[in-house]
Structure 1
Amino acid sequence: MDSSLTHQPATSPTMHGYSTDKDAYLRRLKRIEGQVRGIARMVDEDKYCIDILTQVAAVNSAMHAVSVGLLENHLQHCVVDAAKAATTNGSPEAIDAKVKEATEAISRLLR
């Protein structure tokens, strides 16, 4: 994973887990967007298939890094916050909901 996408705790409970890393995520996504445009240009210019596939693999890898980073942020921020809240208000359903949400996200990433 890109070291610029590592988690730093959010300063406000209303912030999303990735908020402190938002600029790094946006930079990464803009770079990926440029790579995808480059792939389209390669197809338009009839470049060699393997060269195009190499670039597709690079985009997939970059998107995977973003996905894992966001998932890590979600677990460290949202799930942990739900667990803390459940401890203070005695509502374990909040933890179950966040864990289920994270599990479904992981499942989508693995498809």
Structure 2
Amino acid sequence: MQLDPAEMTAVVNRLKRAQGQLAGVLRMLEEGRDCEDVVTQLSAVSRALDKAGFAIIATGMRQCLAGPEGEQTLDVARLEKLFLSLA
């Protein structure tokens, strides 16, 4: 299954922001910043990655449910495994 690049634009942008946030976390650690500040930023990175993962899975679900010529190609076990990998 190929993900629609147009639908992935928002996901790519979210991942780029998360990449910047993660660089910020590394900088904070190197500078010896307060633990609470570091954990807060790390939590924000984690949430951004989770949201990106869920967006990718949701897009994949739509594509699976609307397979070629109405053919249903959804593999529920595979989809469940993907969701659980983000839990």
Question: When the two structures are superposed, what TM-score results if normalisation uses the length of structure 1?
Answer: 0.68
Judge which range, 47-56 or 71-80, deviates more. 71-80
Deviations 1:12-56 (A, max 9, x none): xx742x422222221111111010000000000000000000001
Q: Which structure has the higher relative contact order (CA within 8 Å, separation 6+)?
A: 2
Q: Tell whether 2:67 aligns with 1:81.
A: yes
The size of the alignment, in residue pairs, is: 87
Any gaps of 5 or more consecutive residues in structure 2? Answer: none
Q: Do residues 105 (structure 1) and 82 (structure 2) align?
A: yes
Contact 1:25 1:66 in 2 (8 A): yes
CA RMSD between the two structures: 2.1
Alignment partners' CA distance in 2, 1:48 and 1:15: 43
Larger Rg: 1
Gaps of 5+ in 1: 1-13, 87-93
- Which letter maps to 1:33? Q
Structure 1 ranges of 4+ moved more than 3 A: none
Over the matched positions of the two proteins, sequence identity in percent amounts to: 24
1:64 matched to 2:50: yes
